[in-house]
Amino acid sequence: MSSDISGQTIIVVGGAGYIGSHVCKALQASGAVPVTFDNLSSGHEHAVKYGPLIKVDLRDKAAILTSCGDYKDASAVVHLASSIEVGLGETDPAGFYNNNVIGAFHLLEAMRETGLNNLIFSSTCATYGDTDQMPLMEDQTQKPFSVYGKTKLAIEHMIQSYHKAYDLKYLTLRYFNAAGADESGEIGEEHDPETHLIPIALAAAAGLRAKMKLFGTDYDTPDGTCIRDYIHVNDIAQAHILGLSKFGQGLKAAEVNIGSGEGISNLEILKLIADVTGSSVPYDAAPRRNGDLTRLYADPGLAKELLGFTAQYSDPKTIIASAWNFHKRVWGL
Ligand code: UDP
């Protein structure tokens, strides 16, 4: 398919990961060439199918500079590589700041030295913190609760400073809960260890794990469980395609929520999983998980206005069915 970005080379840092592989597939479908930079610490070589793979670690400043130099004619950099497990961040802040913040600093410096000047950065709704003001708008105060959210906010600030001082053009996308898988079933969510609700609940429904833990049943929500906004990974990928085309149309700097705009509770997700798989999800009520916020869902208005983005595949049942399709293949069911 030809598009505004057809023929462009795009560096995708973290292209071997869950969201990164879907972004690379969407880039290839748009006629662009995705070049994956990844250290394969959590990403998978088998998920890099849509363009070349450069093995490089963001913590290695000299190596990232060399790699950016090799691709200095790329039109943009998409930065998705980071440590993401909220619980782990609470016990290993050093690892999170090193990988996320220092890594992003090395990338920004390498971009500055090599003249790469357009950046899409994956941020998160976890940068907002606990608030009753839902849906979340982009100008909401950012007071992240988790170490993970704090590292992402630190990077947002660094990028804003580079824009002001060095004229870096950027689009920060604050994702809500990425979920689902490409309809081909060839790529999907494969974290190790897996900490996310939908793949864990699917494994429990499939009988591949005994009982899952439902973290927190005493939240101030209608059924006592947390509320999240699930956005299909292919919708997220599409937001990147739209964002990249905006650089050619004069985009300079923006922070934009990428969510469906709909909140759904953890228990409602478990019910939908039972509908889709035909098996109920065995679970035990467990204490709240450190770092978790009560409710998070997006106001998707700015994404529509600025990028022309609306979620297409993010009905929760569609998301779960696509994830189930992928996991059935991976699990040999
Ligand atoms: N969750 C749960 N059990 C699990 C994994 C997650 O109850 O085994 C809950 C988690 O506490 C949160 C929601 O599911 O309330 C979504 O968590 P997830 O890790 O999928 O995404 P996050 O919102 O942390 O980015």
Give yes or no for a contact between 274 and 142, defined as CB atoms under 8 angstroms apart.
no
Specify burial of residue 115 (Cβ count, 10 A radius: 0-12, 13-18, 19+): exposed
Which structure tokens are listed for 147? 């170490």
Amino acid, single-letter form, for residue 333: L
How many residues in the chain?
333
Closest ligand 1 atom number to CA of residue 215: 7
CB count, 10 Å around CB of 323? 25
Q: Determine the topology of domain 197-226+262-296+317-331 in CATH.
A: UDP-galactose 4-epimerase; domain 1 (3.90.25)
Longest distance between any two alpha carbons in the chain, whole Å: 56
Predicted pLDDT at 306: 98
Protein residues whose CB sits closer than 6 Å to any atom of ligand 1: 86, 177, 195-197, 200, 212-215, 226, 228, 266, 289, 292
CATH topology for the 9-180+229-260+299-311 domain: Rossmann fold (3.40.50)
The reported pTM is 0.97
CA distance 14 to 39: 8
Q: Would you state the pLDDT for residue 305?
A: 98
Residue 109 burial (CB count, 10 A)? 15
Burial class for 284, CB neighbours closer than 10 Å (0-12, 13-18, 19+):
exposed
Using most ligand atoms within 8 A of CB, pick from 86, 228, 230, 294 the residue to mutate for ligand 1.
228
Taking a C-beta distance cutoff of 8 angstroms, is the pair 186, 327 a contact?
no
- In angstroms, the Cα distances linking 267 to 226, 284, 323 are 8, 12, 17
Confidence (pLDDT) at 2: 46
The CA-CA-CA angle for residues 49, 179, 252, to 5°, reads 75
The answer to whether 225 and 265 are in contact (CB under 8 A) is yes
> Quick one: pLDDT at residue 86?
86
Q: Give pLDDT, residue 235.
A: 98
DSSP state of 47: G
Ligand 1 centre from 108 Cα, in Å?
Answer: 31
**Domain ranges across the chain:** 9-180+229-260+299-311, 197-226+262-296+317-331
CA distance 242 to 294: 31
Report the alpha-carbon distance of residue 50 to residue 142 in Å, rounded.
36
Q: State whether residue 232 is helix, strand or coil.
A: strand
**27: Cα within 13 Å, side-chain hemisphere:** 30
Walking along the chain (333 residues) 10 residues at a time, the average pLDDT comes out as 84 98 98 98 97 98 98 98 91 97 98 98 93 93 94 98 98 98 96 92 96 97 97 98 96 98 98 98 95 91 98 98 97 95
Ligand 1, atom 21, residue with closest C-alpha: 196
What is the per-residue pLDDT for 34?
98
Measured in Å, residue 86 CA sits from the centre of ligand 1 at 9
Quick one: which atom of ligand 1 is closest to the CA of 214? Answer: 7
Angle between helices 197-205 and 316-330 (to 10 degrees): 60
Q: Measure 290 CA to ligand 1 centroid, in angstroms.
A: 11
Stated as kind and residue range, the H or E segment containing 54 is: strand 53-55
Strand partners, 227: 265, 295
Query: Cα(243) to centroid of ligand 1, in Å?
Result: 28
Q: Which residues are catalytic?
A: 148
